[in-house]
Amino acid sequence: MSQRTLVLLKPDAVRRGLVGEIIGRIESKAGWTLRALELRDLDRATLEQHYAEHEGRPFYEPLMEFMASGPSVALVVEGERVIEGVRALAGPTDPIAAAPGSIRGDFGTIVRENLIHASDSEESAERELKIFFPDFS
């Protein structure tokens, strides 16, 4: 079943010049297509909407500061089982636990700055796509 998902290449991926490498890995998956791509600075209101479920947790403010520290790349990726697939390609949040060959396993350094966000379910993808690409149809 074809799906759409939100992918964010976080400020550390942009700063470290890994955008092309990460997008290349996404594009190399047969049947996955980039439907939208935008480099943008994320404002506080957008970040609050996106990370609302984490508000009040100890990592919330450092996460907000990190995500606002520089530009991110927002992508819409479409394809068969793309939600599950991009999350597998990204690897676990902890780069030490992430397998070699995954984005975080190959390039991750610390848990907080973990290069990539990918929607974790169809419901999350729908909600997140509306935040980042409200006019996308």
Contact status, residue 15 vs residue 6, Cβ threshold 8 Å:
no
- DSSP state letter for 52: G
Q: How far apart are CA 109 and CA 113, in angstroms?
A: 7
What is the DSSP code string of 61-93?
A: HHHHHHHTSS-EEEEEEEEETHHHHHHHHH--S
> Rounded to 5 degrees, what are φ and ψ at 132?
-90, -30
Would you say 9 and 73 are in contact if contact means Cβ atoms under 8 Å apart? Answer: yes
- Please say if 50 is a catalytic residue: no
Of the residues 10, 87, 104, 117, only one is catalytic, namely: 117
Q: Do 62 and 113 contact (CB within 8 A), yes or no? A: no
Catalytic residues: 117
